[in-house]
Amino acid sequence: MHESADSHVPPDLEELVRVRQEFEGLMLRYKFGIDEMMTKINILKEEFAHLHAYTPIEHVESRLKSPESILKKAVRKGATESIDDLAARLHDIAGIRITCSFISDTYRVYEMLAAQHDVSVVEVRDYIKAPKANGYQSLHMIVEVPVFLSATTHLVKVEVQIRTIAMDFWASLEHKIYYKYDGAVPQALLDKLRDAAETASRLDLTMEHLHDDVLALDAENDTFDDPRQERRYDLPDSILRLFWPESALNPSRPAEPMTDAGWAPVQI
């Protein structure tokens, strides 16, 4: 009888191959979960810029946690029973970070995402209202988004961190310091970091108030044009004329006779 190559694989190696494949499949689904959420976020960003000549989203980045970090966190949380156990207990394998200019924008972005009917909010941690003891501020939401594969559909968890530029600046530096000292950061540095977090928080409030003042001025002048935003979807006159009779665009000109199809002749 002809034996397949697989029949020579020892049972524990077979299990290893199975776990590896299962893990790779899981990672791929998290990658697709990120792709789905990034599309949603970029659509919101672009639509907002188009409608309001302003966007609450300054910057978006994503990351898939490395297998090494997943393993470390899984061991720390005791989530090593199975790949399913790991997926159920680690919520930040797929991560997206959204940076906004203002605190009010972080909540606006949160609400826009939470309102999407195929996005379910599984958990919210508001470290802006209640900062961590070290000064860390950010709005975290764990969402579940459907990923449609050829034969199956999966609800994939993605952690979305929403924060201001100042909060992000602080968190990146704190993260670097934390890793440099392998978690054992000297007290003097921790104190300075807490002071810096308070400074960042004050800056955020000042910027928010300034922004409110500018909005109030704009409302008075009935304008909110940001010269940095180009309006890429403006309808050029030549296209408008294709669909509208000349007389409607230029009322002083008499209407052209309609053609059989009911359209006025086009003049470009």
Would you please indicate which residues are annotated as catalytic (active-site) residues?
Answer: 159
Q: Are 103 and 114 in contact (CB under 8 A)?
A: no
Q: Write out the two tokens for 112.
A: 């826009």
| Cβ distance to ligand 0O2 smaller for residue 65 or 157 | 65
Q: 3-class SS at 64?
A: strand
We find the least distance from the C-beta atom of residue 235 to ligand 0O2, in angstroms, to be: 44
**What minimum distance in Å lies between the beta carbon of 77 and ligand 0O2?**
6
Chain contacts with ligand 0O2 (rule: CB under 6 A): 65, 73, 92, 125, 132, 134, 136, 140, 171, 174-175
Rounded distance between C-alpha atoms, residue 158 and residue 98, angstroms: 13
Write down the least CB distance from residue 80 to ligand 0O2, Å: 15
Cα angle, residue 63 at apex, residues 58 and 68 outer, rounded to 5°: 150
Pairing mode of beta strands 139-148, 94-100:
unpaired
User: What minimum distance in Å lies between the beta carbon of 75 and ligand 0O2?
Assistant: 13
- Beta strands at 94-100 and 153-164: parallel, antiparallel or unpaired: parallel
Return the number of the residue (59 or 132) whose C-beta is nearest ligand 0O2. Answer: 132
Of residues 55 and 201, the one with the C-beta less far from ligand 0O2: 201
Whether residue 122 contacts residue 64, with contact meaning beta carbons closer than 8 Å, is answered with no
Our CB check for ligand 0O2 shows the closer of 61 and 225 to be 61
Alpha carbon 240 to its chain's center: 36
Bridge partners, 19 (sequence order): none
Nearest to ligand 0O2 of 124, 210 (CB atom): 124
- Least separation in angstroms between CB 161 and ligand 0O2: 6
Helix axes 11-52, 103-114, angle to 10 degrees: 120
Residues in the chain: 268
Instruction: Please identify the residue of the shown chain whose CB is closest to the bound ligand 0O2.
Output: 136
